[in-house]
């Protein structure tokens, strides 16, 4: 056998055969490790949610955000007008910069409140569906169980029940 391997032609044939076996075994391992991808998504314990769609589909959430931002801006504008009266331009500029920082902090708090509401709806749906992990759709190329519709519905229900609770509390206050 050693004499037949010494021949250059036989070495090439043996090398090609060995490379072919290696490539075939790597391909077989890849096919086996992929499993049945057609059935993987429905039984996945990973949820996918499109947060942009959830927010844009929920007009109450967007309206609440816009209302809070407008109220904050109006309040800050009145405060600026009252405080800046009689100030020099340099003092007004400093006051404006300080108030702009305050506005940004209030905006972040309003956005955090909105994010917390969306996160609460995501957690509720994930718990009901037995999902171990939920990621934003923008981070997923393939797979996962899309729960965007369920999250949108859950958020709408929680916001409408919160609105009706606030309305009933306001009506009971006005009766007193």
Q: What is the mean pLDDT of residues 37-53?
A: 72
Token pair 């600026």 is at which residue?
80
Query: Greater confidence, 16 or 166?
Result: 16
Question: Was domain 36-175 assigned CATH 3.30.910?
Answer: yes
Q: Which whole number is the average pLDDT over 45-70?
A: 87
Residue with the two structure tokens 């790597």 = 26
Could you tell me where the DSSP H helices lie in the chain?
2-6, 8-34, 37-40, 51-57, 59-84, 89-129, 148-175
Write down the pLDDT at residue 162.
Answer: 65
pLDDT digits (tens, 9 = 90+) for 87-141: 888 998 999 999 999 999 999 998 898 889 889 999 999 999 999 999 999 888 8
Instruction: Name 5's Cβ contacts closer than 8 Å, sequence gap at least 6.
Output: 11, 14
pLDDT at 38 over 60: no
Task: Tell if the pTM clears 0.85, that is, is over it.
Answer: no
């Amino acid at each position: 056998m050693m004499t037949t391997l010494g021949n250059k032609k036989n070495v090439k044939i043996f090398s090609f055969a060995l490379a072919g076996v290696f490539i075939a075994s790597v391909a077989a391992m890849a096919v086996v490790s992929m499993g049945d991808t057609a059935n993987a998504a429905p039984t996945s314990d990973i949820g996918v949610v499109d947060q942009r769609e959830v927010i844009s589909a929920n007009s109450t959430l967007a309206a609440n955000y816009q209302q809070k931002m407008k109220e904050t801006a109006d309040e800050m504008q009145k405060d600026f007008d009252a405080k800046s009266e009689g100030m020099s331009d340099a003092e007004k500029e400093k006051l404006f910069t300080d108030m702009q920082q305050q506005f940004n902090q209030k905006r972040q708090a309003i956005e955090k409140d909105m994010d917390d509401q969306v996160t609460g709806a995501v957690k509720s749906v994930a718990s009901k569906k037995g999902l171990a992990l939920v990621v934003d759709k923008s981070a997923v190329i393939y797979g996962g169980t899309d729960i965007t519709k369920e999250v949108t519905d859950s958020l709408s229900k929680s916001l409408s029940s919160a609105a009706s609770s606030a309305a009933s509390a306001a009506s009971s206050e006005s009766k007193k």
